[in-house]
Amino acid sequence: MPKLTLAEIARLCSAEVEGPTGQVITGLAALEDAQPHEAAFLADMRYRSGLEVTQAGCVLLAPDVPCERKDLTLLRCSDPSAAFTKIIEAFALAPEPVAPGIHASAVVDPSAVVDPSACIGPLCSVGAKAHIGAGAHLVSHVAVGQSSVVGPQSVLHPMVTLYAGVRLGARCCIHSGTVIGSDGFGFQPGPAGWVKVAQGGGVRIGDDVEIGANCTIDCARFGDTVIGSGCKIDNLVHIAHNVRMGDHSMVIGQSGVAGSSHLGRWVILAGQVGVSGHLRLGDGARVGGGSKVYKDIPAGETYIGSPAGPMEESLRTMAFLPRIRTEFRKLKERIEQLESRP
């Protein structure tokens, strides 16, 4: 198990030490659970009470946060959360090196191109004319469809499926159970029931994209569904056909974006957001958790609510609703009293 002195940790995260300095840190923990050999941090003031009871060997803390305890070693730094991430990385076990090559149980079509430095793990399937780039790693049980491309240094975790015609950029990370390129949801009523609308497009994903577990990204009806470079997608997210996400946008868990909507650069959708189809969300737009978006959002605006609206306006409406309900109840009682008179 790695061990770091307080001086080493302070250098690692550019922090100033306050208090005892003799402790050796061998692990990390939450503020309330930390023991004398563990480091913790406080970045959210809602958890400040934990500072009074923690037994941590050291606590990362912003310079302006007061702490009266003299028995507690503090590491003062401007961004405790970011600093703690550096410590996590220092304690993380180095991944085992991956040997390039194709596992004996994998099935690779003879027309597929696999870079010699790529690793195709157990029970993977690589379709005809697919291309696996340098240093790419298909961990196990991964299916790469016909003519799909996996870019250099990308990692596909177990049970990931790329349908035909998916193009995945460099240094992407796709977590288990995610399906990319399945048919968009398109049906038209016919005399005998629903008639499937052909979905003939693909999916194009940029570089440095991370997609969580059990996500679904549909192929386009025509052209491409596009996920820009640097985008981050949480678990259990659905991106429908012909959606376009601009570079560095982020979609958080259980959110869904309906067909043909376009998200600009650096857009953030919080958890359980629903975006209706054929909408435009401008660069830097943000949508609060649980909101339902039915109209375009201008660049840089923050919308919340259902239906979603500008944050300040929606908050005023939410604050006013209890008063409306109270007034309505009084009016109803008054009407009933008037109607009950002879």
Closest to 258 measured CA to CA, from 266, 269, 248:
269
**How far apart are the C-alpha atoms of 252 and 239, rounded to whole Å?**
12
Strands 155-156 and 173-174, bridge-based pairing: parallel
Cis peptide before 36 (omega within 30 of 0): no
Residue 225 and residue 202 in contact, taking contact as beta carbons nearer than 8 Å: yes
DSSP assignment of 238-300 equals: EE-TT-EE-TT-EE-TT-EE-TT-EE-TT-EE-TT-EE-TT-EE-TT-EE-TT-EE-S-B-TT
Q: Which member of 241, 248, 262, 278 is catalytic?
A: 241
Neighbours of 81 (CB within 10 A): 13
Cβ-Cβ contacts under 8 Å for 282 (sequence gap 6 or more):
264, 267, 296, 297, 298, 299, 300, 301
Is 37 among the catalytic positions? no
Which are the catalytic amino acids? Answer: 241
